[in-house]
Structures are given as C-alpha cells and as structure tokens.
Amino acid sequence: MTTVRTLLGLPGLRPHPSTAQDLLDRAVTRIYVTELPDPGRYLTAGELVLSGLLWWRAPGDAEPFVAALAASGAAALAASGADAGGIPADVVDTCARHGIPLLEVPPDLSFAVVTERVVLALAAAADGARKRLLTAAAEDAPLDDLLARAAEELGTACWVLSGVPRVVAGTAALPVSAAEPVRQFAAARARPTAAGGLTVLPVESRHAVPWLLAVDGPLSTAQTELAEELAGLVGLARARSRLTAAPLGGQVRAVALRTPDSAEADDVLAELLATTGLAVTPTGSHDHSEALALVADDGSWPAGWADDAVTALSTVEPLLRATRILAGVSDAVPAAESRGAFEVARHALSLAAGREGDVVVVPAAEVGVHQLLLAGTSVDLRAALRRRLLGPLLDYDAEQHSDLVHTVRVFLECSGSPTRAAKALHIHVNTLRYRIGRAAELLGVDLTDFVAQVDVYLTLTSES
C-alpha cells in the first residue's frame, strides 16, 4: 500500500511543518491535478491532489477547496506556492482544521515530474501488492489471513459474503446487513456494483451459491484491479476447501432440501446450514436436485430457524437457476435414531412441495403423526383401504354430485363437534347433523365412536 509518508521518499516533496505526523499514514490510490475553486465533483477517496493554488485570491478561498478534499476522503494536498508567494496561511490553517495533510512542492519542481514519479510509485506498489497476495494464496493462507493482507494492500476493509447470505470472512464488522449487498448484486444481474457504501465483486467459482467480495468504499482504478485479483484468489481458496464430514453424537436434526428443476441442492444446503455455525454431516446423493444432511443440535439450534431459512433462501434464489427451493427439517433426536429423522425431514419436504411459493420450508412441528404413519404405506395399499372403507361414500358423492366426504373430514377435524363443523362449513347445525347421519349410514359405522373416527380420518387423509 502506498501512503502519503511513502511519497515523501520521492525527491522534492516534503510535509508542511503544520501537518500532523499521524496524517501521513493515509493510503494514496491516485494523483489528481486541479486548479478548480471547488473540485468536489471530480474527487474520489485516496487521491493525492496536486495544485498550484491558482484558485486562491484572498483569505476564505481555501475553505470550499479544502472542504471538498475532506468530504471526498482525499489523501493529501500537494501544493506549490510559486505563483502565490508561498503557501498562504489561509490554506495552511484550513488544511489543519479539516485534517488534510499538506505537502510542499518546491517552485523549481514541475508538476509533470511530480505526477510521473507518483504514478510510477503507485504502479510499483500495485505490482508488489499483487505479488504479495499471490504469495499468500500460494502458501494456502486461511481466508481470514488472505483478507487481512488484502486489506493492508487496499487500505480499506473487505469481506467475503455468501449469497445465502452470511459473512464468510472479513476484516471488520460489516456496516450493513449481509443481505443488502447480495440483493443489490442480484438486482444488478450479477455484475459488480456499489451497495450500501461497498463495492461488490463476484467471486468466480463452479459453486451454485455465489460468494461475493465486498470492499469498503468506492475504489480507484488501481484498487479495483487489486480487488479483482483478490476475488480470483478467494475463488481458488473456495475451490480448495472441502467440507469434512465427521460422525455426530448427542442430539441431531435431519434437513432435506430440493431444487426440483436444477442440480444445485448440495451447494444450497451446505451454505444454508453454514449459517447455523453447527457441525454438519452431509449425506451424498446421486440426484443433485435433492440433498440431505445431519446437523448437531446441542441446544444451539436457532429459534425460528424455518422462518430465517425462508428469508435466507429468498435472498439467494434470484442468483440461482432453480425456480423453487423446498426444505424440510426434523425434530431433534438422538444420533442413533437419525434414520427416522431423515424420514421425517423427507416427509416435511414432500409437504413443502405441495405448498405455494418459490421458497417453502416445513419444520417437523407442521407434520402430523398420522401423516408420518401413512407415509410408511404404499400408494396401492392406501388406495385399497380408501376404497374398502370409503367406497360407498365416494360412490354416493359421485352419483348425487354431493360432497359428504368433505363434510365428514371437516367434522372429524373439528373433533366431532357439530357446532364447530357447521360454522366451518357455513351451514346450519341441523343440516350438519343430517349429513353426518347419512354418511354414517352409507359407511356402516358410528361416526361418534373414537376408533371409527380414527379409521375414517386416516383413510380420508391417505391422499394428502
């Protein structure tokens, strides 16, 4: 990284005595020559502003000029007082008040020479920065270390974000929600963009869920080039990383995820579960549109995980080929009972497939026990039982164009209460009693008997 102090090693440039030493450590990214009284619209952060002070005529003229430098985040002002009889006190005082380092350019040193020397210094620094980053990557440095070195070279904080979204690594606290830059990146159709004060670049990889490189603040051309180099190195680091599966003990949960029209499920599930911070053991599958995993649950399973998962998956969905993302999760069970947990997760996934929405997550609490019991029987057996028990009722509805089957189901779901069922069906309670009596006659059972109610209800729900 090139700093103001670095440039003081160039022949001719020297700090004005009024400049505080700690201001000399500011990063310099480019040089800009101007004689405009207010150059604010043309300035970017990190610039060394070179001026002959031709804009200065009287005390007070320095305020708009220096204020513009401070607002833009300029690194320093290098000024020549050759045409002003020296650097005016007004300029000196205003720079000190706004915290802008002031450098003196000797009268006999041309701006062309200063510009050339600074440009060469910046180019050499950029080349050195690339080499140092490449060395770090070649040494297989952890991602946190790679970002720390990059932040030093860039002179600003940086982060790697997952499209799920989550912060994979970073050199400081992210100033915005991780979802904000991901959404804006998606809105920009996966192109480099500015979001929430960050510059966001894609990390190239073969993974379905993208990673993004976010760098604090607008970047100069040199910084952008270095950030692009960093994004490529992050992609290589991601490609080298492998999720190591380890047997889980204690309590576990099973999670099933499906991307029905794409082979992205493995990557989506891995990134989603990474947000929990818990140990995960994936289960391989030949069908990459569906993925399964066991997750350790030591009591740290996030409350409201299903809702959080919907939010996270809805954020990344625009960046995927998949048009739907479906997921189901089991209750916590001992690790020895994980096979049963997978069955619950898969059935929750089946329920998700039957619901509307681009992203649907069904927790085990929404899966009825009767649904799980019925899931263990074959389709043919369920059809045979449905015909055996409900045949007369089904035939009656078909012949009379009635809907006694629906009436019976609502009646049973209202715990056999005629009043509640009538209200749910928007009919008079006497009409409800008549229909239930007629259905009982056709079925040959007492629909007020608990065992009969269980048999009929299980059969009614066998196609759900």
Question: What CA–CA distance (Å, rounded) separates 98 from 77?
Answer: 12
**Cα–Cα distance between 110 and 103 in angstroms, integer?**
14
Poorest-pLDDT segment among 26-35, 328-337, 445-454: 445-454
Tell me the whole-structure pTM to 2 decimals: 0.66
Instruction: Please answer whether residues 254 and 273 qualify as being in contact, where contact means their C-beta atoms are separated by less than 8 angstroms.
Output: no
399 burial class (0-12, 13-18, 19+ CB within 10 angstroms)? exposed
pLDDT in tens, 5-19: 988 887 778 999 999
SS (H, E, C) 129-164: HHHHHHHHHHCCCCHHHHHHHHHHHHCCCEEEEECC
Nearest to 460 by CA among 401, 422, 403: 403
- CA angle 307/313/319 to nearest 5° reads 160
What distance in Å separates the CA atoms of residue 219 and residue 225, rounded to the nearest whole number? 9
d(CA 203, CA 210): 7
On whether the CB atoms of residues 269 and 282 are closer than 8 A, the answer is: yes
Say what the pLDDT of residue 341 is: 87
- Report the DSSP pairing between strands 193-195 and 198-203: antiparallel
Place of tokens 């389709």: 379
Question: C-alpha distances in angstroms, 105 versus 10, 20, 50, 355?
Answer: 11, 18, 9, 71
| 81-126 pLDDT tens trace | 876 678 999 999 999 999 999 999 998 888 888 888 888 788 777 7
In sequence order, what are the residues at sequence separation of 6 or more whose Cβ sits closer than 8 angstroms to the Cβ of residue 308?
A: 275, 302
Other CB atoms within 10 Å distance of the CB of residue 95: 26
Average pLDDT, the chain: 87
Q: What is the mean pLDDT of residues 451-457?
A: 78
Diameter over CA atoms, the chain: 113
Mean pLDDT of 420-444: 91
Cα angle: 395, vertex 400, 403; to 5 degrees? 75
What's phi and psi for 242, nearest 5 deg?
Answer: -135, 140
Instruction: Give the separation between CA 365 and CA 375, rounded to whole angstroms.
Output: 16
Using an 8 Å Cβ cutoff, are 234 and 257 in contact? Answer: no
Nearest-angstrom CA–CA distance, 371 and 446: 23
| 262 φ, ψ (degrees, to nearest 5) | -155, 165
* Per-residue pLDDT at 225 exceeds 80: yes
Coil, strand, or helix at residue 244?
coil
Strand order, beta sheet including 14-15: 14-15, 102-104, 76-79, 47-51, 30-33
Q: How far apart are CA 411 and CA 415, in angstroms?
A: 7
Share above pLDDT 70 across residues of the chain, in percent, rounded to a whole number: 93
Return the pLDDT at 321.
Answer: 93
How confident is the model at residue 378, as a pLDDT? Answer: 55
Tokens of 247: 């047997």
CA atoms within 13 A on the CB side of 192: 14
Q: What angle do CA 75, 93, 76 make, to 5 degrees?
A: 10
- Interacting residues of 283 by C-beta distance below 8 A, sequence separation 6+: 291, 292, 293, 294, 342
Instruction: Please name the helix (run of DSSP H) or strand (run of DSSP E) that holds residue 378, with its range, or none.
Output: none
Q: For residue range 160-219, list pLDDT tens digits in order.
A: 999 999 999 999 999 999 999 999 999 888 788 877 789 999 998 889 999 999 999 888
Query: Tokens in use for 421?
Result: 């069922």
> How far is CA 408 from its chain centroid?
47
pLDDT, residue 306, reads 92
Question: Strand 76-79 vs strand 47-51: parallel, antiparallel, or unpaired?
Answer: parallel
Task: pLDDT band for 243, please (50, 70, 90 cuts).
Answer: low
Which residues have CB under 8 Å from 62's CB, separation 6+?
A: 56, 88, 90, 91, 93, 94, 95
- 242 pLDDT higher than 70: no
Please say whether the beta carbons of 368 and 460 come within 8 A: no
Residue pair 215/153 in contact by the 8 Å Cβ criterion: no
pLDDT at residue 379, rounded to an integer: 63
- Which stretches of 220-337 are DSSP H helices? 221-240, 265-274, 305-316
| Cβ atoms of residues 297 and 237 within 8 Å | no
Mean pLDDT computed over 425-436: 91
Lowest mean pLDDT among 68-72, 281-285, 296-300, 429-433: 281-285
Cα–Cα dist 282/186, whole Å: 28
